Structure 1
């Protein structure tokens, strides 16, 4: 059952005479068709459970400071276990034999971190930094990769790139170290070098408008590393 906005009152609820006392602006059905939300000219969202009582809201939520122009339902609500399974599945793709698969996994992980700024994201960022740092130390001392495959080495750099790309426009406290460590891998052969140059270029693009302020979060040494990576050295100066 789907109703026009003007028909929500056919359930028998008069919004103007309720605690909201304001005009209806929009409505939205839940994906299973069992719940209905209504937004109005005040900050309230009303939720109806039509299985039991369609004439009165079962919940009231003060969602905004002003009127609610649109209320929408999330299509998927996942448990923590389900989130972890998805995360681990995508993370494994960072070491897939196909470069294209590994690169697509980066975009997915960056998206997951944008939508989940919690323990999963924090844990991944910390592990990505630690593993990349170990790899960088081995490279610095010109030791072997310990038998690691190209996909494994590339995967560690890709994980770091996913972290950097997960926060466009913002400058959280952990980002300068992650971005700088990523830039240090620019001397590696492809596909690692390509990953670094593309990620740093995207970092530069998304932070361009506020770089004059955000660059203060970097030390002089970190800025020098970014300069060596960028095709336009004056940008990071």
Structure 2
């Protein structure tokens, strides 16, 4: 982490990114998780000279956003949110639509009257939800264009399996905390229908469970 927080010249950055791409293929999830944390610090401390590699790093974070391990996906979501927040990459229609589609993947089948969860699909669904969380949390003190729609999509997942619920509730709680003081201004960015849904979620007993 001390290396990540150092100003790095181009040849060193190139070597590090190559190693990070390799590390993210490790069979040990702790290693992949640390790689995501390393990327956060490396980009934040080398914001300008790392711009040449934003396509590579974006692809790497997206890959880990759909990692088989919950902890890796969660850290990748935080890293992506940081990328959006500091302007390293921009929230765009392509990203929003991609996360939206992935979050709607059906994660179970019914067999003999029983619901059978498909692990691979629930990971993809969770990755899409975490991408939406990253968009929401990338604007802690204002409301960007994609936040109202992203919040509405997240509200649809409050009855999903526990690991997805956990991510959604955490994102909603953080959004509420950072926007509470100026909510009288922020609410103007939402339609009346969106406000009804959002207010209902925040006062619902399910939200606090």
TM-score tier, shorter chain, comes to 0.5 to 0.7
- The question of 1:91 aligning with 2:62 is answered yes
Which of these residues, 199, 208, 214, is aligned with residue 180 of structure 2?
Answer: 208
- The question of 1:121 aligning with 2:121 is answered no
Q: How far does residue 217 in structure 1 lie from its aligned partner after superposition? A: 1.6
- Give runs of ≥4 in structure 1 deviating > 4 Å: 144-148
Distance 1:169 1:230 in 2: 18
Report if the CA contact (8 A) 2:78-2:134 is conserved.
Answer: yes
| TM-score under structure 2 length normalisation | 0.64
User: Match for residue 127 of structure 2?
Assistant: 155
* 1:7-54 Cα shifts (integer Å, max 9, x gaps): xxxxxxxxxxxxxxxxxxxxxxx877xxxxxxxxxxxxxxxxxxxxxx
User: Match for residue 105 of structure 1?
Assistant: 76
Report if the CA contact (8 A) 1:185-1:193 is conserved.
Answer: yes
Report if the CA contact (8 A) 1:160-1:178 is conserved.
Answer: yes
Gaps of 5+ in 2: 1-6, 10-44, 111-115
Secondary structure of 1:129's aligned partner: helix
When residues 125 and 180 of structure 1 are mapped into structure 2, their CA distance, relative to the original with a 3 A threshold, is same
Q: How far does residue 146 in structure 1 lie from its aligned partner after superposition? A: 8.4
Q: How far does residue 150 in structure 1 lie from its aligned partner after superposition? A: 2.1
Q: State the structure with more CA Rg.
A: 1
Report if the CA contact (8 A) 1:197-1:229 is conserved.
Answer: no
Aligned positions of 1:31-46 closer than 5 A? none
Distance 2:160 2:64 in 1: 21
**Higher RCO structure, 1 or 2 (CA under 8 Å, sep 6+):** 2
* 1:53-105 Cα shifts (integer Å, max 9, x gaps): xxxxxxxxxxxxxxxxxxxxx6451244x111111111111111211111111
Q: How far does residue 124 in structure 1 lie from its aligned partner after superposition? A: 2.2
Report if the CA contact (8 A) 2:98-2:128 is conserved.
Answer: no
When residues 186 and 228 of structure 1 are mapped into structure 2, their CA distance, relative to the original with a 3 A threshold, is farther
Report if the CA contact (8 A) 2:135-2:146 is conserved.
Answer: no
Report if the CA contact (8 A) 2:102-2:127 is conserved.
Answer: no
Which structure shows the higher helix fraction? 2
Report if the CA contact (8 A) 2:61-2:80 is conserved.
Answer: yes
Distance 1:85 1:104 in 2: 18
